[in-house]
Amino acid sequence: MQFKWNYQQSTPEKRQAAKELAEKIGMSTIMAELLIERGIKTESAAKRFFRPMLNELIDPFLMNDMDVAVDRLNDAMGRKERIMVYGDYDVDGCTAVALVYKFLQQFYSNIDYYIPNREGEGYGVSRQGIDYAAETGVKLIIVLDCGIKAIDEIAYAKQKGIDFIICDHHEPDEELPPAVAILNAKRRDSSYPFKHLCGCGVGFKLMQAFAKNNGIPFARLIPLLDFCAVSIAADLVPVEGENRILAFHGLKQLNISPSTGLKAIIDICGLTGRELTMSDIVFKIGPRINASGRMMNGREAVELLVERDLQKALTMATRINEYNEQRKDVDKQMTEEANDIVERLESQQHMPSIVLYDEGWKKGVVGIVASRLTEIYYRPTVVLTIIDGMASGSARSVAGFDVYDAIKSCRDLLENFGGHTYAVGLTLKQQNIPEFRRRFQEYVNSHILPEQQQQTLDIDMELDFHDITKRLMSELKRLAPHGPGNEKPLFLTRNVYDYGTSKVVGRHQEHIKLELVDSKSPVVMNGIAFGQSAAARYIKSKRSFNIVYTIEENTYKRGEVQLQIEDIQPSETDN
């Protein structure tokens, strides 16, 4: 992947503003300029950013239908009705179910949870799930991270005397399901000030409202915030506004006193004893929770997340870890097969999007394969598998392109679909695939912009190696938690050289461990460039090059600075 580097030099005005802010907050001008880039321009705004407060969470009753939802939940408890907590089989759905179930279970025992089977029931609310609810005497279903498009299914449930409270964050259609209450800040009539909660976040707001209405101290909700942090990180929602507050305090909970199930996953991942970050959730914790729903059934993940006994939880976590290893093997095989198809098909190579399908592909892994192909080719990608004449799968997108709108433009060919800007699930009849491919690719071709067809690195600042100190690394940690809307700062250093000791590392010799110097100081800087071994020959040629990187703490040498290098390009003087 050849990245385009997007960098604008700082202006004298910005440098002066940074100098003044730095003096007020007692930090470096580098840190102050990064804050200003993020729209944080005053001392008070910086303090609020560094110390997000739980009392700054938005009043949950500002969300449409929240009062109705709480009243219906109270009525169900008062009448001793059976309640089911129903959720999607991914990380967001499983953590949402675990959070709501664990909280309500403290006050009410006639409650169950349900996760649909990906292979047998598919995404969202299923008739099979509703039939199970009816058979077990359920009168109220709280559905999390799905449901906003389940018009027919919820009408079916209504005929069986079952009410629904929907807690979703996906894009709604103009027609909404006949639920008692629909909690979704993306409703067209929504007045809720923050639009980007994840499914677990919406579930948390319902529990916050329930607690407030029933005089339950907010402190009873704090132990469940680790689920919010896991969900926010794994679902890649913006880490700003209310999500920053939930993620900040959720990470704190995850590090200090995680729930038993999450502690078991942390132990199995080998993360015990180190400070956990959003990256640890994205690359270690989240995939293991997801693996349950991808390879077997998401219910196992919820069973682990609500487990109170550590030994039982460790046994469950070990099993889920095995699912993750199986998922990796399937993922690798399917990605290689998909890659071969793209390389073979001339039409796919020259289109600005990719649509692939195969009857042998595992339904639970097509979303990961779509993500992999998007990374490799940097194009909006749809990957489908076929079961009994129906094609189902996932779409993934590139920065700035709304794949939800692209899928929506083909809705007359689809049985159902749902999602958001960068990720969509869809189902259609096998015979509709050729026409879907044609129209999807036509839509992408006419709507995608040239700048959306090349991956860009947005560089925050240019530094020399003598600027990179332990103090700066310590300051940068305060920008966390990171994610969309608050990415780790990217830095540029020009004209660096191999110190003579850089080498290719990794099981497949795919990474480079670097020791670098620049022309302005005697500092020798350590770095790691993952998956960039192709640049090793140039680096060892003693010619200068430019690097873009984030500043990290060395995992193996606490307190030591290490650069994580995102891209390497020859210096202009060498071109």
Calculate what percentage of the chain has a pLDDT beyond 90.
82
User: What's the CA gap between 35 and 391, in Å, rounded?
Assistant: 47
Q: Is the pLDDT of residue 573 over 60?
A: no
In the predicted structure, residue 205 carries a pLDDT above the cut 60: yes
pLDDT of residue 342: 82
Tell me, what's the pLDDT at 558?
72
Give 122's pLDDT tier (boundaries 50, 70, 90).
confident
Q: Does pLDDT of 219 surpass 70? A: yes
Q: Which residues pair with 382 in a beta bridge?
A: 355, 395
Residue 3: is its pLDDT beyond 70?
yes
- pLDDT at 158 > cutoff 60: yes
Q: For residues 231 and 294, which has the higher predicted lDDT (pLDDT)?
A: 231
Percent of the chain's residues with pLDDT above 70: 98
Query: What value does the mean pLDDT take over residues 197-218?
Result: 98
pLDDT of residue 348: 63
- Give yes or no for residue 251 having a pLDDT over 80: yes
Which of 443, 494, 441, 442 is CA-nearest to residue 467? Answer: 494
Q: What is the pLDDT of residues 427-477, one digit of tens each?
A: 999 999 999 999 999 999 999 999 898 899 999 999 999 999 999 999 999
Residue with more model confidence, 418 or 263: 263
Evaluate if residue 347 carries a pLDDT over 70: no
Q: Mean of the pLDDT values across residues 164-177? A: 95
Average pLDDT, the chain: 93
Sign of CA dihedral 139, 142, 143, 149: positive
Residue (of 360, 354, 332, 328) closest to 341 by Cα position: 354
Name the most confidently modeled range: 9-13, 87-91, 546-550, 551-555: 546-550
Q: How confident is the model at residue 492 (pLDDT cuts 50, 70, 90)?
A: very high
Distance CA 57, CA 47 (A): 16
Q: Mean pLDDT throughout 64-75?
A: 98
Nearest to 234 by CA among 400, 443, 89: 89
Predicted TM-score of the model (pTM): 0.91
Residues 423, 398 contacting (CB under 8 angstroms): no
Kindly state the tokens that stand for 439: 């129209």
Helix axes 199-213, 66-78, angle to 10 degrees: 60
Helix boundaries (H) for 272-380: 278-280, 286-295, 299-306, 310-344, 346-349, 366-377
**Token pair for 467:** 């600027």
273: left (phi over 0), alpha (psi -120 to 50) or beta: left
- Asked if the model's pLDDT at residue 574 lies above 50, the reply is no
pLDDT score of 519 more than 50? yes
Residue 265 burial class via C-beta count within 10 angstroms: exposed 0-12, middle 13-18, buried 19 and up: buried
pLDDT score, position 388: 87
Q: Does residue 391 have a pLDDT over 90?
A: yes
Q: For 230-256, what is the mean pLDDT?
A: 96
Dihedral class, residue 332 (left if φ above 0, else alpha if ψ from -120 to 50, else beta):
alpha
Write down the pLDDT at residue 124. 87
Phi-psi region of 454 (alpha: psi -120 to 50; beta: other; left: phi over 0): beta
**Residue 575 clears pLDDT 50, i.e. is over it:** no
Please state the rounded mean pLDDT for residues 119-141.
93
Place of tokens 């039409």: 347
* For range 363-377, the mean pLDDT: 90
Specify the pLDDT at position 520: 85
What is the rounded distance in angstroms from the CA atom of residue 165 to the CA atom of residue 148? Answer: 10
Give the model's pLDDT for residue 137. 98
What is the three-class DSSP state of 198?
coil
Q: 345 falls in which pLDDT band (50, 70, 90)?
A: low
Q: What is the pLDDT of residue 572?
A: 72
Q: Within a 10 A sphere around the Cβ of 387, how many other Cβ atoms?
A: 14
Q: Determine the average pLDDT of the residues in 401-419.
A: 94
Q: What does the pLDDT read at residue 121?
A: 82
Greater pLDDT, 358 or 106: 106
**pLDDT band, residue 1 (cuts 50/70/90):** low
Identify the pLDDT of residue 120: 76
